[in-house]
Amino acid sequence: MKKLILLLIIMTSLNVFSQTGPIIGIGGSYNSTWIFFPNAYGNVAFDNTKPKNYIPSYGYDDMLKVGWNFKEGFGIRAEIGNSVQNQKFQNKNPKIYSTRDVQMNYTQIPVMLFFSSKRKNIAVHFMFGPQIGTLKSAAQTNITAKWDTTKHTLSKQIAFNYDKFKQQNITDRYNKTDILVVFDFGFDIYITHRLFLSLGLRIHGSLRDINKSDWQDLPDPIHGVSNLDYFASRNIYGGVNASLNYALTKWHK
């Protein structure tokens, strides 16, 4: 009986004072989102993909988190959640004015190594690792108009046949899977021994072309030839990440 009581005391002590074990959490990010360099599909009117034509665009992530600390200051974190990513463009030239808005929706699963400082109430953390994105939907809205050279204003008439791209579902133009790398730098603020708030700056970047091979460098739909340079397209986004986490074992005295 005494041995059993001693064993329970030891196990309880380990549970209370150990800084190893599992965590769960919920959180989200507010991001600045970019697509470098989006495919114009050979369409001269949509050749607005140079960085000078980019309009700041924003999206968000939401996620569920699980993790494990192997020892104090080192562990692993895995998340699953929804990611909304957008990119807007605007192009002006003497003959054509065009705007383009691409909206993408992914399920994202990052798996990151976790490192943190050894501080009791506030710890600095750094995380990095691979991320797999599964495309759920993609759409684009395009508007192209002619300049009225006599009045130097935009004509209300939609130019050529380009408005066939307007508000179009383009999910089939992208690879179903996006492979990314993710980095996160921030702080863990302990509210109690078990409950803590994580705040960080997080950056995600595609490692390969997100366009399907069948949709790379397509000819101009009007002239039948491609006169645009093709560049691989990649998702680049990042922003402020916050999550509320709960340690299933106490990590601090």
pLDDT at 203: 97
Q: Which residue has the higher pLDDT, 48 or 140?
A: 140
CB atoms within 10 A of CB 154: 12
Residue written as token pair 């990095």: 128
CB atoms within 10 A of CB 171: 14
pLDDT tops 70 at residue 156:
no
pLDDT tops 70 at residue 151:
no
pLDDT tops 60 at residue 194:
yes
With beta carbons less than 8 A apart as the criterion, state whether 78 and 132 touch: no
With beta carbons less than 8 A apart as the criterion, state whether 206 and 33 touch: no
Q: Which residue has the higher pLDDT, 41 or 134?
A: 134
pLDDT tops 70 at residue 145:
no
Consecutive H or E run containing 16: helix 2-17
**Cα(59)–Cα(231) distance, integer angstroms:** 24
Percent pLDDT > 70 in the chain is: 71
**Cα(159)–Cα(54) distance, integer angstroms:** 22
- Which class for 32: exposed (0-12), middle (13-18), buried (19 or more C-beta within 10 A)? middle
Q: Which residue has the higher pLDDT, 31 or 147?
A: 31
Q: What are the pLDDT digits (tens) for 195-236?
A: 999 999 999 999 999 999 888 877 655 555 565 677 889 999
User: What domains lie within the chain, and their CATH numbers?
Assistant: 2-247 (2.40.160.20)
pLDDT at 5: 46
pTM beyond 0.85: the answer is no
pLDDT at 121: 85
pLDDT at 82: 96
Q: What are the pLDDT digits (tens) for 103-136?
A: 999 999 999 999 999 867 899 999 999 999 999 9
pLDDT at 23: 93
pLDDT at 193: 83
With beta carbons less than 8 A apart as the criterion, state whether 43 and 223 touch: no
